[in-house]
Structure 1
């Protein structure tokens, strides 16, 4: 049993950081939960591949190819014949154009190869092929 004296009732002048840590953890959880919802991409089943070194984040144009071979540029559908012209227009607007390619794993290689060839002919130097880690 502890008996306190009037000398031990002094005010504690130290900062209690427990509430600060609680708030920061709640904010971290909110960001972890909402971050995947902020990506507005077409839902495709990505192939698995070994992770590579991350590149610096810039504003990229997303090219998606669904399993039915429908092509999208930033969620806007486009036919393969008009794809190269659309990329040329984007390249005129932004000379440092960066592309992200999301192709479903069941899409034939020929379709993806045609897209890659068009991207190369336009002269895009920054291309990311999006996969999921193994």
Structure 2
């Protein structure tokens, strides 16, 4: 006695009606490879003439100005006391006149006991007057553990 697999309505003379997808997948892969090979490479390049070698070092060293702010909030300009705020502004205006490459480097050196508002005021005046080369030096005194 034979065992039948599937539904009972199938007869021996009926064929399989499922589509064989293997050749279809093979054709699609071949077409995909052909498409990838035939696509031209996109070369978006911009030609730029870049300088070769290292630039020469600057021959002009800018002057350096030290603004020291002491513990009693008094301000000195390269060791010379600055009595008023107008005098500080006049000195800063004199420092920023001329081309930017000739402006002096201004180093602000606050004392550890200086009020923050005095340092902030000097920074604000410097920024308002257009000082571009400005830095705070002597920050090692503010590091913890010293």
TM-score (norm. length: structure 1): 0.52
- Secondary structure of 1:111's match? helix
* 1:128 correspondence with 2:135: yes
Q: Secondary structure at the match of 1:61?
A: strand
Match of 2:118 in 1: 111
Structure 2 length as normaliser, TM-score?
A: 0.48
* Structure 2 stretches lacking a partner, 5+ long: 1-57
Which structure's relative contact order is higher, taking Cα pairs within 8 Å and 6+ residues apart? Answer: 1
For structure 1, which runs of at least 5 residues remain unmatched after alignment?
Answer: 1-55
Structure with greater helix percent: 1
Distance in 1, matches of 2:84 and 2:99, equals: 21
Shift of 1:80: 4.1
Question: Do 2:62 and 2:104's aligned partners in 1 also have CA atoms closer than 8 Å?
Answer: no
Q: Could you tell me how far apart the structure 2 residues matched to 1:109 and 1:99 are?
A: 18
Give CA deviations for 1:19-71 in whole Å, capped at 9, x if unaligned.
xxxxxxxxxxxxxxxxxxxxxxxxxxxxxxxxxxxxx9742100001111110
Distance 1:131 1:89 in 2: 25
The RMSD of aligned alpha carbons is 2.2
Structure ranking higher in strand proportion: 1
**Structure 1 runs (4+) greater than 3 angstroms displaced:** none
Per the alignment, residue 79 of structure 1 pairs with: 83
Q: Which has the larger radius of gyration?
A: 2
